[in-house]
A = this chain, B = another copy of it.
Amino acid sequence: MIIVMKAGASPGEVERVTDRIHELGYQVHLSQGTERTIIGIIGDERPLDPATFEVMESVEKTVSVLQPFKLASRDFGPENTVIRLNGLRIGGSQLVVMAGPCSVEDRNQLLETAHAVKEAGASMLRGGAYKPRTSPYSFQGLGLKGLEILAEAREQTGLYVVTEVMAPDKVPLVAEYADVLQIGARNMQNYALLHAVGRSQKPVLLKRGMMSTIEELLMSAEYILSDGNYNVMLCERGIRTFETYTRNTTDINAIPALKHLSHLPVIGDPSHGTGKWPLVAPVARALVAAGADGLIVEVHNDPEHALSDGAQSLKPERFADLMTEIRRIAEAVGRTV
């Protein structure tokens, strides 16, 4: 950490800062510039709170030198992490496509959609049994019944199942039915929940909060990793900006940025990233072209009668077309689907 002193800070004020640093068990490196004194802190700065120094009136600002995440960083894992689910590899040269409806609504809807996405080439089935909804008056999911339907679809199709868990005490139950536990965007900083999935050994799909930076996403991954669960996928699903034509703004920059900063697999979500089905296919192609390790796409057998997110769901035939396009892009970047 580097501390920049205010112009005209007195030797006594500088000493007060360096004393505090020594008190905390660190060494000091002093540099006297033409306009400012700069104090470097030598040692692992991660446990230090910049506020310790910012609160001193003689301090202008502090600057962190190290990234605050460790286990999630490229320094820690120079090789890409590949998550194994029996035969499936996530984070390797083959892309993983997860597809299915926003919510599990009933047995027929899910099974019909599951067979359709399987046939088009998806390898994992998505579908919410527990739904976080902005309004208490909206459909909140089928709960346990939804989990059972998902399990039945897995048996029939051989697709793996990814589904959201919303509360720490539900983790064991959801883990019984799902192959991958999804942490939704609104829960990215729900630390009690991060600890609960960290202590389970199930792979986790961690969605970026709509209001969260790339660094914060990696810090939330760090929570799960530091509890001993290394099977974490990061998911870019669009951030909130001033643009209102689309539901969110897909942060395409985040795909190569996350691959650069971390060894964890990165999944793109063009459905939430755009919120409009006509934009899903072009943005899905873009995510793969930018280096995503997989996609999660909303597909519904009858979007007009969907209980949630119909406007961003693809019909099965459009999803099949998308898979064809994705295969071509994957090939162009040296990968397979």
Residue A34 at the chain B interface, CB threshold 8 Å: yes
B31 touches A31 (CB 8 A): yes
- Copies of this chain in the oligomer: 4
A219 touches B134 (CB 8 A): yes
| A38-B40, A255-B282 known; A241+B244 contact, CB < 8 A | no
- The proximity string for A residues 299-325 relative to B, scoring 1 for CB distances below 8 Å and 0 otherwise, is 000011111111111000000000001
Which residues of chain B come closer than 8 Å to A242, judged between CB atoms?
211, 213, 239-242
Which residues of chain B come closer than 8 Å to A156, judged between CB atoms?
none
Residue A252 at the chain B interface, CB threshold 8 Å: yes
The segment from A82-90, A115-123, A144-152, A182-190 found at the interface with B is: A182-190
A239 touches B243 (CB 8 A): yes
Tally of chain A residues near chain B (CB < 8 A): 109
Residue A329 at the chain B interface, CB threshold 8 Å: yes
User: Which one of B170, B306, B328 lies within 8 Å of A332 (CB-CB)?
Assistant: B328
Which residues of chain B come closer than 8 Å to A212, judged between CB atoms?
211
Nearest CB on B from A40, distance (A):
5
B246 touches A249 (CB 8 A): no
B278 touches A289 (CB 8 A): no
